[in-house]
A and B are shown apart, each in its own frame.
Chain A
Amino acid sequence: MTDGPATTPAAAADLLARFEARIAAGEKIEPGDWMPDEYRRQLIRMISQHAHSEVVGMLPEGAWITRAPSLRRKLVLIAKVQDEAGHGQYLYHAAETLGASRDDLVDALLTGKAKYSSVFNYPTLTWADVGMIGWLVDGAAIKNQLMLAQCSYGPYSRAMVRICSEETFHHKQGKEMVITYAQGTPAQRRMAQDALDRWWWPSVQMLGPHDSDSPNTPLLVRWGIKTKTNDEVRQEFIDEHVPELQEAGLRIPDPDMRFDAKTGHWVHGPIDWDEFWRVVKGDGPCNTERLAARNRAHADGAWVREALEAYAARHEIATARAAVEA
């Protein structure tokens, strides 16, 4: 299960070579298989950050459930937020297969030690933001998750396949909502454009730093944890979304955005990485609010967890007593 069995450097090199050959052959690594400690460490880091992002990701949209403009929109949003909760659960499960404890992971989130996606530290100011998050943020997430569905680690890959099939609904409903607004009254069109102006850059940033500033990437690609780099995934996201947003009559808030006919790709202007790192490190518009909301929810649920434990304990005693008396 760990580096343990390799007692000599030659044996360790042999184990690593066999491990890398399995990945090169497209095999999935499963819990119980030998894996380098660094593979395990990188996966726990990535999967737990991903899980936290799903959980915190419920907050910006959850805030609008009570203010949805129609019953249909409310049901759609409830279904979506419920999915995000489920995605967090799938991912915590995947991290647990690597030996991580759920309590430790949740504790790291609640105490602010763990990172989660920078994009969820921005506020949802209008109802159009809910649609724009679906189109852009879920759109960017799907690009990343389709890549991760190819991951060499079985449990992470399976969680991603499950998530992608659900995330596609989020993307489509967001797109539908924004298109409706973009074709609506002048006020609705202004709302859609305002939402795009505020969510475009955070969405472009959420796919992570440039490859040149992403020191883990070569190893992650070599071990099949990632199959594409941040810049490759970002390019896919931009190539798909720019023409569709323009088709909907919206303007991308990047004066340098242009189509390069030679490469067939859209070329974006400089990304404000100072802003990205500020938000990741805790100084975004809503970091404090998000963490406070998670802590409040966890504390408010304490009595439920205690009641469930008490019920289970009493049930166990009753079962044991019945067995003795029988």
Chain B
Amino acid sequence: MRWEVFKQDAPSKPHQAVGSVHGADAEHALLNARHVFGRRPAAISMWVVRADRIYGRTAEELAAEAPRAPVASGNEGTYHVFRKASHRRSMTFVDHLTDVRAAGPSEALAVALAGAGAEPGLAWWVVDANDVHATDPDAAASWFEPAKDKTYKQQSQYGTVAAKRNEGAAG
């Protein structure tokens, strides 16, 4: 089963879609998400959501859809709405933008679009809050801190031709 992974780098940052992993269940998916997307700093939280539970629309799809009243197609509840805002070079896709109460993902998207106003966005994802499986905040330190101490993973650890030449000159 495929799960989309959302990673939060810092308390001030939103959860961002970083890619997907496979997992037999949510627990397995979270473990894989940490191995694949948490090898380098920084992360404080991760969410996984079954890929087939995500309601996604690109700007192109929205423009092609006939305007119609949003369908109350899901549960009445809270929906996380994610947006991709620019074509800038990036390693992440959509960012968590807002939460809305709605009777289904398409209604949630309509509410978010109305709220987004002048910045319509390039792609949108909507996720039922009940479908989110999150890392345990109490376990965050043991999950994410070790990556910070793995200094050998940073390129700044290694001297280059110029650095070696300078060392030689100094010695």
Contacts and interface: CB of A to CB of B under 8 A. Distances in A.
A147 interface: no
B155 A168 contact: yes
B152 A82 contact: no
Contact of B155 (A30, A157, A172, A244): A172
A175 interface: yes
B152 A32 contact: no
A295 interface: no
B92 interface: yes
Interface stretch (A118-126, A227-235, A255-263, A307-315): A307-315
A325 B40 CA distance: 44
B158 A158 contact: no
B26 to A, nearest CB: 9
A27 interface: yes
Contacts of B120: none
B153 A169 contact: yes
Contacts of A149: 89
Given A79-B152, A173-B158, A93 B25 contact: no
B58 A86 contact: no
Nearest to A315: B25
Nearest to A82: B39
A109 interface: no
A161 B16 CA distance: 15
B91 A26 contact: no
A95 B56 CA distance: 18
Given A32-B58, A102-B2, A158-B19, 20 more contacts: A31-B58, A32-B123, A76-B152, A79-B152, A79-B153, A86-B39, A89-B21, A93-B19, A94-B19, A166-B39, A169-B153, A173-B152, A175-B158, A175-B161, A176-B158, A179-B164, A247-B165, A308-B28, A311-B24, A311-B25
A154 interface: yes
Contact of A30 (B2, B24, B122): B122
B159 interface: yes
A142 to B, nearest CB: 11
B123 A176 contact: no
A278 B161 CA distance: 35
Contact of B56 (A32, A165, A172, A311): A32
A248 interface: yes
A102 B89 contact: no
Contacts of B35: 86
Contacts of B52: none
B20 A179 contact: no
A82 B35 CA distance: 9
A150 B89 CA distance: 8
A94 B28 CA distance: 20
A79 B159 contact: no
A33 B87 CA distance: 14
Contact of A165 (B91, B157, B164): B91
